[in-house]
Structure 1
Amino acid sequence: MKKLVVYLCFLCLLGGHAAIGQQKKKFKAIYQLNSDDDKVIRGTLRNIKNALEDPRLQNKIVIELVAHSGGVTVYRKDQPYEELLKALQEKGVILVECENTLREKNIKKEELFPFISYTPSGNGELIIKQQEGWSYIHP
């Protein structure tokens, strides 16, 4: 009887750990956008939306969009992407712009949407995130 109780306790612990492990499982993906082409920008934003809506990933994924080079276009106030970006941000997407690009292209932060974040280097951000285990996606 004592062995049975110990065995049942052991099974309960295993089941609990498995459930906890499943609850804690988070996927992380970083998308790179370095093109000013409208089709590429819209395709990238659609890919992110599709990942967020994948039933296997819902409420289990963290996504960052890092823009650099021509990709800065997506964050410019004079471009038509504000609604799409805000919808993604409301779903938890982290929107990041490369400060090197701003310097190289002589773009002021005031020209970009106020709700984005910045990184010193887009490439550096990609390298760091990949080292941390993030999936790298370049549509």
Structure 2
Amino acid sequence: MANAQKTPVKAVFDVSSSNEDLHETVVRHIGLMAKAYPDSEFELVAYGGAYAMLVDGISTVKSGISEITKMDNVSVVVCQVALEKHGKNKSDLIPGVGSVPDGIYELLLRQQEGWGYIKEMK
């Protein structure tokens, strides 16, 4: 990345789809960006059908999620409302994943704080 940008950024990734291919894509995007820009911050916010990508035992991207949650500049959170709707709780999450009371509100807060917004969709 000889021409990589030097200015640190903060970016929040919005994932609401249950599409497993999309889950793989967002994990790849965040992992690559976090490595390329270690002074930047990245957050994945999952809600709606995307809750499953962060639940231990049903996630198809558990290993990728486990890798990115170990990175100092990445946080991964899931909407508590979505978890409760599907009969899950914090103890069901992949280790390293956090929760927020409301995923959409979290996205709004991050944008209000000046974070860039990326909607991942397929």
Structure 2 distance, partners of 1:128, 1:49, is 23
Whether contact under 8 Å (2:66, 2:95) holds in the other structure is: no
2:60 corresponds, among 80, 89, 96, to 80
RMSD between aligned alpha carbons?
Answer: 1.7
1:99 is aligned, of 37, 59, 80, to: 80
- What SS is found at the alignment partner of 2:114? coil
Residue aligned with 1:26, SS: coil
Tell me, in whole angstroms, the C-alpha distance in 2 between the residues paired with 1:53 and 1:67.
Answer: 21
Can you give the 5+ residue segments of structure 1 that lack an aligned partner in the other structure?
1-22
**Structure 1 residue 105, shift from structure 2 partner:** 2.0
For 1:38, the equivalent position in structure 2 comes to 20
Which of 100, 122, 128 aligns to 2:109? It is 128
Identity of aligned residues (%): 25
> Aligned partners of 2:91, 2:113: CA distance in 1, in Å?
31
Residues matched between the structures, number: 113
The equivalent position to 1:117 in structure 2, one of 86, 93, 98, is: 98
Q: 1:62 aligns with which of 25, 41, 46?
A: 41
Partner SS, residue 100 of structure 1: helix
Greater helix content: 1
Q: Which residue of 2 aligns with 1:71?
A: 50
TM-score (norm 1): 0.74
Cα-to-partner distance string for 1:16-36 (whole Å, 9 max, x where unaligned): xxxxxxx9x531010011111
- Match for residue 3 of structure 2? none
Distance 1:27 1:130 in 2: 12
Distance 2:109 2:81 in 1: 16
Q: Which moved more, 1:120-129 or 1:98-107?
A: 98-107
Q: Secondary structure at the match of 2:18?
A: coil
Gaps of 5+ in 2: 1-5
- Structure 2 length normalisation: TM-score? 0.83
